Amino acid sequence: MRLGIDTQKLPEFLKRGPLASLDHVKELDLDGLFFPTVLDMNPTLDAGALRDIRAKADELGLYLESGVGKINPYCSAEAPEFRSIGGGDIILGFTRMIEANVAIGCRELWVSPGNFKSEYPGRLANDRFRTDVTWDEQLLAIEKVLLKLAPVARANGVHLNMETHDEITSFEILRLIEKVGEDCMGVVFDTANGLQRAEHPVFAAKRVAPYVRQTHVKDAYVGRAPGGFDFQTRPVGGGIVDFDTIIPILAKANPDLNLSLEVAASVADKPRKANPRQCIQLEDPIWRAGHPDLTGEEQDAYIALVDAYEKRVKSGEVPNWEAYEATQYGYPTYEHQTYGYDQAVAFIRNSARHVRTICAEHGILLSPNLANQQAA
pLDDT in tens, 352-366: 999 999 999 999 976
Q: Does residue 320 surpass a pLDDT of 70?
A: yes
| pLDDT of the residue at 272 | 47
- CA 281 – CA 170 distance, rounded (Å): 18
Nearest residue to 215 via CA among 15, 65, 24, 87: 65
pLDDT at 343: 81
Q: Cα–Cα distance between 338 and 331 in angstroms, integer?
A: 8
Angle (nearest 5°) at CA 66 between 60 and 68: 160
What average pLDDT is seen over the chain? 90
Question: For residue 308, how many other CB atoms are within 10 A of its CB?
Answer: 10
Domains and their CATH numbers in the chain:
2-220+233-275+335-375 (3.20.20.150)
Q: What is the enclosing helix (H) or strand (E) of 299? A: helix 296-315
Band (338; pLDDT cuts 50, 70, 90): low
How confident is residue 346, by pLDDT bands cut at 50, 70 and 90? Answer: confident
